[in-house]
Structures are given as C-alpha cells and as structure tokens.
Amino acid sequence: MNNLVRIKGAGGALRRSFCSRFSSQQVRQTFLQFFQDEHQHLLVPSSPVRPRGDPSLLLVNAGMNQVTINIILLILVLYKGTPACCWSTLFKPILLGTVDPHSPMSSYRRVVNSQKCVRAGGKHNDLEDVGRDVYHHTFFEMLGNWSFGDYFKEEACAMAWSLLTEHYGMSPDRLYVSYFSGDAASGLPSDEETRHIWLDIGVPRERILPFGLQENFWEMGDSGPCGPCSEIHYDHLGGRDASRLVNTGCPEVVELEADRSLRPLPQHSVDTGLGLERLLAVLQNTQSNYNTDLFTPLMEHIHQVSRCGPYRGLVAPGPEGRVDVAYRVVADHIRTLAVCIADGVSPGMTGAELVLRRILRRAVRFSTEVLQAPQGSLGSLVPTVVQVLGDAYPELQRQQEQIVSVIDDNEDQFLSSLQQGIRIINKTVPLPSNHSIQPLFPAPVAWSLHRNLGFPLDLLNLILEERGMQVDLVLLDQLQATQQKSEVQLDVHSLALLQNQGIEHTNQAPKYQYSLHNGRYVFPECKAAVRALFIGQQQVAEVAAGQSCLVILDRTSFYGEQGGQSHDQGYLSRHDSPDVLYPVEEVGIAGGYVLHLVSAGYALKVGDLLHLHLNQAQRLSCMVKHTATHLLNWALRCVLGPSTQQRGSHVGPHRLRFDFSIKGSLSMTQLQEVERLVEQVIFADQEVFCEDVPLRNARTIPGLRTVDEVYPDPVRVVSVGVPVSELLDSQTDRCHSVELCCGTHLLRTGAIEDLVVVSERQMVKGISRVVVFTGEDAKQAREAGQVLSQEVASLNGRMASSSGRHDTKRLAKEVGQLTDAVDSTPIPHVQRRELQAVLRSLQRSTNTAVRKLESQEAAVLAQKVLQYKGQQQQLVVVDNVETDNLSVLMKTVNQVSSRSPLSLVMLMSHQKTSGRTLCACQVPKDCMVLACDWAMAVCSHLGGSARGSPLVAKGTGTSSDITETLSWAKEYAHRRTPPKDS
C-alpha cells in the first residue's frame, strides 16, 4: 500500500473538523448541489446496476463505462488501487454518438449524479481483492459530473479544485496532482496543457508530477477507449513532501484501434469522478473506507450476529486477520446484494445473475465458516443496509422484504449444494492412497460442480490437494470459454463522419406505414436511396459483388432490432434492375441511422435507388407477438398487482418470451385468469392506438407501463382499446394496456386469434419466465394437448381393468412414455400441469400394482422351492425357477430366506430360448460366504457380471446347461462353508 495512506493517528484537528461537518449523506449532497447550484448541471438519477441495451457489460462497473472520447478525467485517488472512474453506461450513447436524436439525452450538456456501481466481472473485477485491504469494494458509489461538448479541461480542473478545497475543506498543502508525461514510442506528447492549467490554478510546480503510460495512461482493452488522465492525490499525514509517494494508474483519452494506431475522437467532453467511499474516508479522517459511517453500522450488526470478537481493522495474515477480512467481505457483499436485487438482478446461472450468485456464496462462506454466524444472518443485515443507503436509493426501501427473501433462499440452496458437492467429489475421487498416483480430477465434473451447484473452485482445489490431485486446468479453461455474438454497429468515428458529411438520420416512419383492408394487412412499397456504405468500419463509395456491407438508406421500412423485438427480414432490389437482389441478413440502429447488413451479390454504390421488400409474414408475426406481449404484461399486472414489473422480453416470429417479477410462484388459477383476460381482448377485436406524444405529457398517463430505458422525445405511446388522446385527457378510468414502445403493432387485437402459455418457470428467486404461442401455433398447441389428454384418459381406463404382471408392466412403460411426451410437447401449460399430476398418480399406482403382482408371483415360486427341497433347514439351497423377471427372482429369494433363515439361498432362472440366465442370492448375517462374491463367481462362470452387498446380490450370464451351473454354484458355497461340527 502507498505510504500516503498508511500513516496513523495524524491530523487530529482536521479529524474533528471533518467528522463534525460531514456524514456520508452530507458528502453526497454537497457534491450534487455544488454542480447543480453553482455550475448549472442537470441532476440525473442513478441508473440501475443492470445496463439496458448494452450486451458488452454485465453490470454498471463505474460512473462511466466503455466510451471513446477526448477527455480529461479528474479522479480523487485517495488510495493506491483500481481507478475510481471510467465510463458511464448511462451516457454511453452520447459519447459513442449512438444516442437517439429524439431522446432528451441528446440535449445533455452538463450533467451530475451519484451512480451505483458494481465491479465483480470483466476487466475491472475487484471481487477477489475485497476484504484483503481496506479500500476495495464490489459495490461503490461514483460521484460524477460530465460535460458533453460544453466546457473542457480548464473549467473541469477549476471546479474540482474548488470543490475539494473550498467546499470539502481539504488543505491544499495535502494535495498533489499527476498528469501524463507523454510516450515517444506511441507518438503521444506530454499533456502540457493540463500542467499549465494546474499552475494557473495555483498548485505549486513541485506538486504537479508527470507520469508515463503505466501510471497515467488508461485503457479498457486492446482496442477502444484509452488515453492520459490527471489525478488529485491526498496525503493523510501532511506537513511533508509526499511527492515521491504519488504513483497511481489511471486514464485520459484517445481511441486505440486494433492496429495499435491512435486517433483523436470527434467531440471534447469531460468527466470528473470521485468514489464516495474513498472521499468519505478522507473527510472523516480515517485510512480505511470500512471505518466510515457507510460501514460502521454494518460492522456493529455483523458483530452482533457472529461468534467472533469485534472488528479491529487488521490487514494481516493469520486467524485474527482472517476474521477482519471476513468482516469486510460480508459488509461489502451485503451492500452489493441488496442494491442488485433491488434493481432486478437476482442470483442465477448466466450473465449478471451468475456474478451475483458468486458474490452471495462468497459472503455465505465467510459468514458461516470464518465468522461462525448462524444460517440466516446474512439476510438479517439488509435492514441496516437500507438504513444507510435507503434515502439516496429509495428502491432499497421498497424492495427490502424481497431482498431478504432472495438472500435467505439462496443461502439455504448454497449450503445444501456444498453438502451435495462434497458427496459428488467423494464419489468421483477415491480416498487418498500411498500406493498409487492419483489422476487429474475430471474437468467436466469440476465445471459441473462450479456451474450447476455453485461449488467454489478454490474449495474444490483444497479438497483435491489433500488427496494429492488437481483439476485438469487446460480442459477446465476450455469449458469456461465463451463465444460473443457479433453486432451490427458503427463506432463513434464512423458515426461522426456521417454527421460531418451532412448525411441525415434515416427516416424510419415507413416502418409504421401499414394499413388494414378487408381483414388483410397491406405494407406499402418503399423506395430509398443509398446514402452510405461501410465494410466493417471503413466507409466506401462502392461495394463489389460478393462482399458483405452495411447499407444506410435515406429512408427504410425495415425494423431494426430494439425493444426486445427481432429485426425484420427481406431483401433489397435495384430500381433499374428488379431482378438484382440484395438479401438483408440483419438490421440494427445506431445514432439515428438504420444499418442494413447486406450480402451484395452484385455491385452496389452510393446513390443507387433501391426498392425495399419486407418478409411480410415474418413482420406480421412479430406484430402479433408484440401486441400480445403488451396484453400479457397488462393481464399479469391485473392478476398479480401493480408491483409486478417486466424484467425482460423477446418478441420473435414464432413465439414470445416474457420475464416478470413475482413473489412466490404463479399458480395455475392465476395463469388461467391471465389467459382469460387476454382472450377477452382478442375476442373483442379491440383497436390498437399508436401516437407520438411529448415525453413529458406521456408520463402523466394513468397506469402507464415503462421500463428502465431512455425514451425519445416525442415518444411513441401504444394503447389497446382506448385512444391515446383520451388517456392524455384522463377521460377514462377503464383498465387498459398502455405502454411506451417503439415496436411495430397490430391495428386490431383480433389478428392474434389465440394465445396460449406453453411454459412457465422461475428463472431465479422472484423472477418468472413465460413462453407464449399465438395464432396457428396456439391452435396446434391446444390440439396437441387434447390428443395427449385423450391418451392419458385412455390409459387411466385401461389401468382400471388390467390384470397380470406383464399387462401391468406394459402399462407402466406407457405411463413413462406419455410422461415424456407431456413434458416435451408444446401444449397449454395449465393442461400440462393437470396431466402431469394424473400421470404421477398413475405411475404410483402401476408401481404399486407391479410390486404386488411380483410379490404374489414370488410367493408361489418360493412355495415350490421349499416343497421340492423339503421343509427341513438346509445349509445351501440352489435351484432353478421359471420367471423372466430379475425383480421377481430377487423377491423369491427373499421369501425363501425368510422361511429358511439359516440357509444360503441362490435361485436362477434359465431362459431356454436365449440361454440367458438370471441369478439372485441371499445369505445369513455373519455368513462366511459373501453374497456379492458368490453371485460374481457364478455369473463370471457364465460369462456375465453381478453386483450387490455381502447379504444380497444379483446378476446375469449365459448358460447352455443349467444343471451343471446349479451344481457349480452349490459346490462353490459348500467349499467356503465349514461343516457344522467344526
């Protein structure tokens, strides 16, 4: 750790001043008001920690995230560690140039906020560092202010210095500034402009320190945003020259291309960021973030529920240090869990949910293993988190009960999974042996333990190390490798180039210009001119035959994938040569431009006039599914209540998928009511109204459903059954579906024809997913359900009149086959549940009947054996009986043994046609002949195999002479059994 933060007990006067003036709430509010009131910044609420519409990021991991722009980053680096700031998902579209030109965000110039951030995956992953020191966190708050093409370096530096020295009262004598010194090999000059800005502000020359690429040049990856940064450092001790101790690694900006070349970006913007936790540690004069009032209530609560001493803040090896590590891990992770769950991210199996599951399970291990806290302690900490953070983030208060429930359920599952995992390990790996070298532990088993059960790999490695083994790491890495989907997208340079060339945004109005005539949808012809062509990110004037390219037209009727709706399919044709076709493979949207990914079978150049041909069946099918999605969302809220929120959806031509929040699980009665409500609207053939409305007006509509997205202004309002004008005038109190949506919809609901929920399951605690069919697919699902229902009813009737073991066993097999069909065939989910219940009952009945008939058959066979052998006790009973069922043979052996308890009993059944021989045996307890050895010897003699225990065993083989086999089996037992008088 940098000596700047290792000094203890210094600055008593400053400590009293800071502690008496600043709480965490005051520090946060001071920052926001400073930029709002004194510098006219727009206050923007924190976005949820799950980024929307950005597949490149699992969770918002900083105040800013992955953008490319010429900027100066002013970061208060209070402790050596991960940079406090990078790029905001919230503002990424602005900086990449992809923002919708009609969105309010496109007008942002000065913005301030306190952003919730989670760093636990990807390049910036602090998970394993949390607890080892006193400043790393998985969840933290980033205080940030941004300028988008407004002020730049000089103003940003002055604001930052004023905030720290005048408003937070930091002594300038304790502050140092670093800047980028340049790098000749990369062709990057020293940032002399920033150095002179700090000199003009009044920072002494000796406190303005140059650093190179390692310390003051930031990059997110091998390509993308990168560049120099300027940082402010604070010396806890003061009264000395601490310049030699300043040494950090952080950003500024020019974009780094894949060929390692550097290009300045189109727009100058500024981001000033301060991590609240580290800032607060300075203002409360402590060297540890965990000693601030953001954490001390949690530390006290953890002490109350644990069986360990109080938190002492140690960063040291050994048992005492491990306890304090556990305190920090649990305190940090419970904050992360609460914030993520409140924002709709629950522990799960993929993406952000998988990250959160790892965080939860790490917290459980430290809580139970190190702090020795009882099960349920983790969830009991949530109210303390809400008490500390709830005022700033009120969603924590609203979701407190749900957060506790999710944590408790997942803790219980994890502790159960640990026990199951250890059993699997014991089964896979034999006990340690001094006589052999153990092989590598199979990677597929390790991956299954980790992926499916959440078994920690570090715990697995410890267990294997004790047994002289290790995991096959090469294969495990291969199993963990993931493939990323490519996107139809243009980078910020390409978008800026289009704007500089004066190429107007694509006119997308034609995609909504369709009508309904005599019950048939009509999609008018659309003509468009090629305005730009790209191969990759390279703009070209012409594309040769055989190349794939991105085509930008002046107008388009194609829908680009967004809002959960799949992109349109179809092709383009030349105006002058209608037979020259260009298949459209994918359609995307970036910065107001619609991008058509086209396979150019023929040459194509800028200025060409094209005709656009939609796959009308595919488009109409998507329209049906999208309108049905709105009705489903409305019906779910009607049945489950207004607290039910959409958590994701996908609208495709063949089905729709809808995720929603729910306490508990969806009952079949509730599901039936949801389907009934939707069917009523479909049958009524209600009109669907779509209208562009000013965003401010749209938000006043009663019952409006929205999701956490940035909407354009004006925004498209989609209402079913009630005109948008009536909703704006509040002239109706009817229950209705109304949402903000850019998708394409039906004009009347009757075209949906039918709606069937074919699947419903909980994805994670509190989130359910339904899969829905409509139209002909729904009809076929109902017909398939009816067929299966009739087959189940027929089987049920035949079960009642069945007789004999063979008949009953055949029916039991049919039950299994029907169960598989009901489980896998798309049918109404309500019907599936009903049929599954009937089939489970039939399975129990057939199993019971088969067991009863087998016992009856075995009783008859046992009586014959005993009569033939005589009633007197015999030492060894070996005989052949007539049955084709090994289970019956086992039951027969058991009954003979029960009536002749001192005998060694082996019965065989020789199948005359095939020569196959069944074998079963049972011996008394403490017998010198083991049943498993006896059966194995006999079946091996027959060229087969056997298995069992010392008391009972069974097996099979092949014999042409059953008499010889019986004699051999009997002689084997006699040879290993001493005479009675010995």
pLDDT tens-digit map of 287-309: 889 999 999 999 999 999 998 99
CA distance 675 to 679: 6
- pLDDT reported for residue 92: 62
Please report the beta strands in 392-525, taking only residues with DSSP state E, as ranges in sequence order: 515-517, 520-522
264 phi and psi, to 5 degrees?
A: -65, 150
Q: Which two tokens stand for residue 819?
A: 């169960």
Whole-number pLDDT of residue 35: 92
Q: Which of 42-56, 248-262, 569-583, 602-616 has the lowest mean pLDDT?
A: 248-262
Task: Determine contact, residues 562/649, Cβ cutoff 8 Å.
Answer: no
pLDDT at residue 248, as a whole number: 44
Q: Give pLDDT tens digits for 797-807.
A: 887 776 666 77
Cis preceding-peptide flag for 189 (omega within 30 of 0):
no
Would you say residue 259 has pLDDT above 60?
A: no
CB–CB of 106/714 below 8 Å? no
Cβ 230 vs Cβ 84: under 8 Å: no
- In this predicted model, what pLDDT tens digit does every residue of 452-503 receive, in sequence order? 667 878 778 877 877 778 888 878 777 665 333 445 888 888 888 998 999 9
DSSP 882-924: --S-HHHHHHHHHHHHHHSTTSEEEEEEE-TTT-EEEEEEE--
pLDDT tens across 754-805, in order?
Answer: 999 999 988 877 889 999 999 989 999 999 999 999 999 988 888 777 666 6
pTM listed for this prediction = 0.62
**Kind of pairing, strands 609-614 and 526-535?**
antiparallel
Q: What integer best gives the mean pLDDT of the chain?
A: 82
Q: Where are the beta strands (DSSP E) in 199-309?
A: 208-211, 217-219, 224-228, 230-234, 254-256, 262-263, 269-275
Say if strands 42-43 and 110-118 run parallel, antiparallel, or are unpaired.
parallel
User: How far apart, in Å, do the first and last CA atoms of the chain sit?
Assistant: 81
The torsion angle over the Cα atoms of residues 26, 29, 35 and 41, rounded to 10 degrees, is: 180
**Amino acid, res. 99:** V
233 annotated as ligand-binding: no
**630 labeled part of a ligand binding site:** yes
85 is in an annotated binding site: no
Q: What is the pLDDT of residues 838-886, one digit of tens each?
A: 999 988 988 888 888 889 999 999 999 888 766 556 789 999 999 988 9
Helices H / strands E in the chain, number of each: 28, 35
- In DSSP terms, which residues pair with 691 in a beta bridge? 717
Q: Is 745 annotated as a binding residue?
A: yes
Residue with tokens 């959440």: 454
Average pLDDT score over residue span 901-911: 93
| Cα separations in angstroms, 666 against 302, 405, 630, 759, 764 | 35, 17, 18, 11, 13
Q: What's the token pair of residue 254?
A: 């020019």
